Structure 1
Amino acid sequence: MVSIPNPIDLARKALEAAEEAAREAARKAEEVARETARIAEEAARKAEEVAREAADAVNISKGVDYFVYLSGQNFQVKVSSPKKRRGQFSFQPKNSLVGKMQKGHREIAMFDIGAIEHSGRFEIAASKNGNSPLIEKYAEIAPSDGNLHGSDMGNMLQTPSIVTQDYSVSYGFYDAGVIESHQAYIYVTDNYSNWMAQLFREMPALKKGSLELFVLPGSHDAGMFTGIVSDELVGALIKFIPGLNGLALSTAKRALINLAYTQKDNIKTQLELGIRYFDFRPGYNLINIDGILRHQHSFVPGYEFDKFLSDVVSFLKTHQQEIVVVNIKYSGFARDDMKPSDQEVKSSIDTALSGSGITKGNIDDLNKQ
């Protein structure tokens, strides 16, 4: 008799064989996938190493010099930037150096940010007593050309100092050109709006001394934080600088601000930060003549003299033990006819002081006890 295989057994064996073949194929596919992933990972690692070596070889990086000042051990500042291979470099000022300027340097290098990234983040954060940050600022810096790829510190006029009842923070960032390092700074201090009154309380004998005993924090060209306010003015001003003539107004405006502005904070904030000596140069406009005295930087107009005086008087009325010295001068004026008469300056000062109860001194008072 002929033995006929059971169809069910044949089907079962065929199914088992197919399942085994499928498992084997899946196993081999998994091995291939793992090997492919390993090869890809190794290739990426080698590519990054090559990029690092290339960066090292040609020194593709942009430097940042940073400066930190803390008035007390209750304040902290953290400076951070990408660190080679992984993690973050972090600078923590030493408590032993409180009250002194501390500085450091970082290179934002290609090998610190990875082969596919275009910029590295430089960050500054300040805190008090280890609590939440009082301020956090950053600059995305491209190692290849040093350009900023985003920053909340890039525009000086948009980095105003912060003054509260408990602390003050002043910070800034200088976007340097090729070869030079960028610069960043931060000052974190107590509120100094009443520092003279506090000093008198702590050292009563000072009241019997003369003002010349004090070292007064000063503001150079104090009124040059504003003034270039319209395209019309920019167009008129650039006629005095041949190199700026023909530039787009936006470019010319930035150039004028870079040349003429010496402060970023208004007078009220400068006073609250502790400034007690002001270099103010009142004069008449060389162009757009309107009869108003303004701080003049060569031929570029700044803050109005009457408003400056009003700010100082308003501050002194609420800070009655503070003393403010104003040095009126006319150095650097483009033309002599910009200078006001002594009587015009005196009239402005007398008007500002009228009814305020504030006493006006003179240079002889610096030596009086």
Structure 2
Amino acid sequence: MPSKGIHVFTYIAARGCSIELSVPGKSVSVNDLHRFHNVALEVESSAIESFFDKRGKFNFKVHQDGHQITEQWIDINALTGNASGGTMENIATTPSIFHGDNLIISYGLYEAGKGHDLLPNRHQCYVTVTPSYAHWIKDVAPPGSEAEKKPFSRLVLPAAHDVGMNSMASSEAVLRKAGGAVVCELIHDSPVLAKLADTLSRDAIGLIAPNIIFSLAITQKDSLEAMLKIGARYFEFRPAHLHNAIANRGALPDRLYFQHSAIPGMAYDAFLKGVVTFLREHPSEIVVVQLRWDGVPEVCKKPSNEEKKKYLDEALREAHGEIVPGNLHDMKHLSIGQLRSDKKRLIMLDSVDSLSTYTDEGNATLDGDSILKALPRVLTPDAQKGKAFVNIQCQATASNIVKAVVYSILEASVTTSCLLATKGLCDSKILPWCRENVVKQCNLDRLVVMMNDFIDGATADVAVDLSRQRLKK
């Protein structure tokens, strides 16, 4: 009988919690701590009573100490494969759930539809249940402890890849003011989407503009505050002025924005203000920000040193001297305690040379295997020499695979992202590797960053545990 599959990836790091996964006629419960589970389920048409309506509900429920914390669901048609309705129909409306001050549930759903070529033909869902890591540096290196005397560079920092692309807000403002055709002018700097622009007419691109932006650029779906509470402590930001095609139409105020190629995301002043606000509310935490401009086209003017200083000074003014900026030397040589006592809890880096595990070819994967194979080859002692820190990039970049992008743009909806299609599968392979190998592969004198799309509790939990291990060395 016809059926539609769903592949679910789960991770639990909070005691007393369980995740119940259900489709018509079957239910599976997982409760193991610190274990990456892969569960394959089928919405079977034979298990659905209605003769005409072959939609069956997939849902997950999270319980803690016997009490239900949340239930999320979507209807899946066993005949067509379509997923619709429910609470998980739209990626943009699946933010992490905060239960009190101690529990965070991060989740997401990729709608596979009928499946297409390289992309999965099963729907993909991930669910992580972890403690809040809003003050995890305080927990692993409490003020006054021996751990606080260790170098800050011993830590492993969770990181949100392309933090500034966490919503469609800026892009939607552009589309409302300038129309979808403006996207045609923005995507020629993308090697993949330039081919799309050469194939389709300007009007056609205008009609599917939201799909293009979502498939190409949206890499996060939580607010900055939520990412920090999930545990993120390292961010790369590419601040630049708007592309002329946007600026000339007055679609957005003239200020610095995160630029994903020429697509604008979060405003730089809002980002800095959000980080400073978090640090003031969490006085033992430390955040590292790296400014970069790789991939930003020349037409998007980079800020001058004076402009960068103006933005930073403005953000720090509200801290009234409680926070002062640290630099590369501070990050590499000072202890956690020294950074706290010197008030250097916002470390600002500018185009610093790091050892990144990312390559266009290796990360252009749908199953993560090429990333996994590359990690031990890249993270060698010789390769780490002279580098300011190590950046392990866990995310796959399916947006570099032409066929995957074309499907996401032309045939899928704005709620489906080819980037999200790889999330659960890659995490279930790469995060366990990091947990088992980072301590022995990475130099103790080098800060380590673990970067990921759609930052989640599993990424944070692994990084925090690795930080504890390295602090004991």
TM band (smaller chain): 0.7 to 0.9
Aligned partners of 1:141 and 1:147 also within 8 Å: yes
Partner of 1:92: 29
Task: Tell me by how many angstroms 1:110 deviates.
Answer: 1.9
TM-score after normalising by structure 2: 0.61
Q: Confirm or deny: 8 A CA contact 1:75 1:129 kept in the other structure.
A: yes
Amino acid of the structure 2 residue aligned with 1:64: I
The Cα shift of 1:320 comes to 0.6
Residues 244/177 of structure 1: CA separation in 2 closer, same or farther (3 Å cut): farther
- Residue 360 in structure 1 maps to residue 325 in structure 2: yes
Whether contact under 8 Å (1:110, 1:143) holds in the other structure is yes
- Cα distance in 2, alignment partners of residues 169 and 161 from structure 1: 5
In the TM superposition, residue 273 of structure 1 has moved relative to its aligned partner by 1.2
State the alpha-carbon separation in 2 of the partners of residues 176 and 103 from structure 1: 17
1:281 matches 2:207: no
* 1:150 CA displacement: 1.6
Instruction: Map residues 63-102 of structure 1 onto 2, 5 A cutoff.
Output: 63-83=5-25, 89-95=26-32, 98-102=33-37
Residue 184 of structure 2 is matched in structure 1 by: 239
Alpha-carbon contact 1:267-1:311 (below 8 Å) kept = yes
Written as runs of structure 1 = structure 2, the 5 A alignment for 1:1-369 is 55=1, 60-83=2-25, 89-95=26-32, 98-114=33-49, 115-131=51-67, 133-163=68-98, 164-179=100-115, 180-201=121-142, 204-226=145-167, 227-230=170-173, 231-240=176-185, 241=187, 242=197, 243=200, 245-247=202-204, 251-286=208-243, 287-289=245-247, 290-335=253-298, 337-354=300-317, 356=319, 357-368=322-333, 369=335
Identity of aligned residues (%): 31
Q: CA deviation at 1:187?
A: 1.3
Q: Aligned Cα RMSD in Å?
A: 2.1
Question: Structure 1 unaligned runs (5+)?
Answer: 1-54, 84-88
- Higher Rg of the two aligned structures: 1
Distance 1:338 1:143 in 2: 50
Specify the SS of the correspondent of 1:196.
helix
Alpha-carbon deviation of 1:158?
0.8
The CA deviation at 1:161 is 1.2
Query: Cα distance, 1:122 vs. partner?
Result: 0.5
- CA distance in 2 between counterparts of 1:337 and 1:255 reads 20
Deviation at 1:206, TM superposition (A): 1.8
Kept in 2: contact 1:228–1:257 (CA 8 A):
no
Contact kept in structure 2, 1:64 and 1:183, CA below 8 Å: yes
Q: Is the 8 A contact 1:238 1:244 kept in 2?
A: no
Secondary structure class of the residue paired with 2:156: coil
Q: Residues 119 and 149 of structure 1 are in contact (CA less than 8 Å); yes or no, is this contact kept in structure 2? A: no
Q: Where has structure 1 moved over 4 Å in runs of 4 or more?
A: none
Structure with greater contact order relative to length (CA < 8 Å, sep ≥ 6): 2
Secondary structure (helix, strand or coil) at the match of 1:256 reads: helix
Give the deviation of 1:248 after TM superposition. Answer: 8.0
Where does structure 2 lack aligned partners over 5 or more consecutive residues? 116-120, 188-196, 248-252, 336-473
Q: Aligned AA for 1:122?
A: F
Seen in structure 2, the aligned counterparts of structure 1 residues 256 and 138 have a Cα distance that, compared at 3 Å, is same
What's the offset of the Cα at 1:64?
0.8
Shift of residue 194 of structure 1?
A: 1.0
Shift of 1:244: 7.2
